[in-house]
Structure 1
């Protein structure tokens, strides 16, 4: 079975973080399924469905923590599965999968706009905001507040070891927003001048815990110490349905050479291990509100979002596994 080259290319870019950010990862995964459906040379619906399952498996294997990825695959593949089991012919199945992918991408992009609208209302004129990593949802909130005429300034942490903070700092600055760029370890030092913390999320659990880029939990803890509001901007497809059944979120461990260059690490004593977790877990008690496209909720209401969005469908086999 041969997948189209674009699927392999997108999977590789997600895996090596050329495509980064939970929302962009999700949209890219949906796009990969769309391209497979569009360019497939399958002769029957059965052949196309096998290809789509193979593509979904490949994409699912690339990043274990960002739940937006499997949720994007579920959105498209469940609709394809219903059509396939309903005996759709080749062109009907192709049409349904392409449409589902386009619908997911559209809804995802509109979600950022809605989150920005809800979040900007929580920003006050003159606020100094601290943010971490590179979240389109969080950036959207700050841009909308700026568009609304609010005089804000943003403290951006560098976000080692992949330096995603540089992307955030440049994007905000190019938009005209004043930015202060600081090393990660300076977050507590500058928290005393911070009015609000706005960050994104890769996953949100049933109890409202936030899984996000490593360093997020420390910033949230420091904010709580200083009685600074912590707001998490996240689309509902980042809520993790399996956690309702007690499944733990896997924290991705990345290549140690992201921290220490390979040539340097080779000269180190062999009894030094370099650990490079990509994410950490922020307890719900360190988060004040979660801003979604459906509105602003307290962390303990995450379970309601999960029930509304996913029901209990996730108890069944994944559509690319059966």
Structure 2
């Protein structure tokens, strides 16, 4: 299960950073079913697998934090193998609950700011933003959404399809480069986040030009996500360079294909960050 999860994270089959953190944390439960001679051997294997899962996507702060929490809570705390296994299972349950609760509360906080009749623009796919929209609609809001297709993996198309299934939402799908044309029609931009490290938002490629354009035309930008994704220290963001085949199936001689997964946006371009812990204003 751990090897399969590592491969799945690398292939971005689970693109939401919160989902990635939960899947990786749960995968560690496999270690409690293996045979070990000593507690020390178990802890070494735990540390090795935590490292492998973190390396599968070093851009996800929530993945890093969840796995570090498990490792630090178990290592050196058990006197025998049975106790180590029980502690590991209990810690996994606690960490998963923390991630899922943080995401849910962030969505609730964001939903409270979404007003009936609003038109918003969103980029890529954020499960937290989607949940916020669903909660706002359940509370009676009718909304219009402009959604980027989010090249090159087109995750925005998934967002638009899910919005289309909600009667109270009118979704519009557009190419990424059209944001400047449609921003003046919007009341706000609402996007998710991979993480915020110090004074920089890291999110799906295309976020920076969208936020810069929104600032130029005076459309406020809201970022939504778990507070665990706001990191002051202990985590160094590493951008992921995706396969060139996502940009062009057949390579062309003389062309260097560039496919970074994330870009960096200064937080002073953002109006507010809504997390489970409240609203951060910049």
* Same fold by TM-score greater than 0.5: yes
Contact 1:203 1:240 survives alignment (8 Å): yes
- The equivalent residue for 2:91 is 100
1:129 to 95, 106, 120: 120
1:25 to 20, 28, 33: 20
Query: Normalising by structure 2, what TM-score?
Result: 0.95
- The equivalent residue for 2:238 is 250
Which of the pair is proportionally richer in strand?
2
Distance 1:228 1:206 in 2: 24
1:161 to 136, 147, 152: 152
| Change in 2 beyond 3 A, CA 1:35/1:241 | farther
User: Which whole-Å deviations, capped at 9, do the CAs of 1:257-308 have from their partners, x for residues lacking one?
Assistant: 11111xx21xx22x21001110001111111111111111124xxxxxxxxx
SS at match of 2:185: coil
Q: Which is worse superposed, 233-242 or 20-29?
A: 233-242
Q: How does 1:1-322 map to 2 (within 5 A)?
A: 6-37=1-32, 39-84=33-78, 88-176=79-167, 177-207=169-199, 209-242=200-233, 249-261=237-249, 264-265=250-251, 268-269=252-253, 271-299=254-282
RMSD: 1.5
Q: Could you tell me how far 1:113 is from its partner in structure 2?
A: 2.1
Contact 1:204 1:238 survives alignment (8 Å): yes
Contact 1:252 1:277 survives alignment (8 Å): yes
Gap runs ≥5 in structure 1: 1-5, 300-322
Query: Normalising by structure 1, what TM-score?
Result: 0.84
Q: Could you tell me how far 1:36 is from its partner in structure 2?
A: 2.2
Contact 1:67 1:240 survives alignment (8 Å): yes
How many residues matched? 281
User: Which whole-Å deviations, capped at 9, do the CAs of 1:41-85 have from their partners, x for residues lacking one?
Assistant: 22321221121112111111111211111111111111012414x
Gap runs ≥5 in structure 2: none
User: Which whole-Å deviations, capped at 9, do the CAs of 1:10-33 have from their partners, x for residues lacking one?
Assistant: 010001111211101111111111
Q: Could you tell me how far 1:248 is from its partner in structure 2?
A: 5.6
User: Which whole-Å deviations, capped at 9, do the CAs of 1:195-240 have from their partners, x for residues lacking one?
Assistant: 1111111110122x21000001111111111211111111122123
SS at match of 2:77: helix
Distance 1:143 1:278 in 2: 27
Distance 2:232 2:92 in 1: 20
